[in-house]
Amino acid sequence: MWRSTISSEPAAEPRRGRSAGSSLLAVLVLVCGSALAPGPARTKVFLTVDEALALAFPDCEVERRNVFLTDEQVARARQLAGVEIEGALVHPYAARCDGKDAGNAYFDTHRVRTLPETLMVVVDPEGRVRRLEILAFREPEEYIPREIWYRQFDDQALGAELDLKRKIRGVAGATLTARATTDAVRRVLALDRVIHEEKKP
């Protein structure tokens, strides 16, 4: 059992590409790669995986799970999300607080414009977004929307309204970030729903 306390040890794997998972390794790869890159393309790391989980689930038990989706489940998640899902291996971080299910955290690494970012999306037991955090962002920082923009996702469930120009407002100067973030949230919510459908009798 893994506890969500900040640790000096590397934790877990963030999602590579668009498969759901979570590990600090991907963030570290981004950091090391950006150190060698010329010009302004430098990775900004805001949180480690440990720190993000500690913020989401303070004093809770968090277990990293391995879920292998069938081809049918991947297809259903893709249909629900309305965006591409690559890979069938998902690594939800399942949390229990005071013995009760507190939801799952997912780490999603995806391309914004030409470079990647990593987000943590926490989904509550009812399938709604409980928390959204940026872990790493390699595009120029001026492409990051203000904090208040990300709060639009709080308590959102998967549905047609969870889209830009509907419940989610766009943001001038960061359109690609807004689209990538919205797609990532839809992808995570779809995967979470498919995983929990499997558990139902």
pLDDT of residue 60: 97
pLDDT of residue 65: 96
Residue 62: domain span: 2-199
The tokens describing 156, both together, are 């959102």
**Counting Cβ atoms within 10 Å, is residue 138 exposed (0-12), middle (13-18) or buried (19+)?**
buried
Backbone angles phi, psi at 102, to 5 degrees: -110, 5
**Nearest CA to 56 among 19, 2, 93, 27?**
93
pLDDT of residue 126: 96
Q: Among residues of the chain, what percentage have pLDDT more than 90?
A: 73
pLDDT in tens, 69-92: 999 999 999 999 999 998 999 999
pLDDT of residue 43: 76
For residue 158, is pLDDT > 80?
yes
**Nearest CA to 123 among 7, 17, 20, 9?**
20
- The model scores a pTM over 0.95: no
Mean pLDDT of 97-123: 96
Lowest mean pLDDT among 35-49, 52-66, 161-175: 35-49
Give how far Cα 110 sits from Cα of 20, 73, 85, 182, Å.
10, 21, 11, 11
Which runs of consecutive H residues, i.e. helices, occur in 57-157? 71-81, 147-150
Mean pLDDT of 29-52: 62
The SS3 of residue 187 is: helix
- Tell me, rounded to whole angstroms, the distance of Cα 163 from its chain centroid: 16
pLDDT in tens, 29-38: 333 333 333 3
Report the distance separating Cα 128 and Cα 88, nearest Å. Answer: 22
**Counting Cβ atoms within 10 Å, is residue 96 exposed (0-12), middle (13-18) or buried (19+)?**
middle
Lowest mean pLDDT among 15-24, 100-109, 145-154, 160-169: 15-24
Q: Is the CB of residue 109 less than 8 Å from the CB of residue 17?
A: yes
The domain total for the chain is: 1
For residue 157, is pLDDT > 80?
yes
Where does the pLDDT of residue 199 fall: very low under 50, low under 70, confident under 90, or very high at 90 and above?
Answer: low
Q: Among residues of the chain, what percentage have pLDDT more than 70?
A: 77
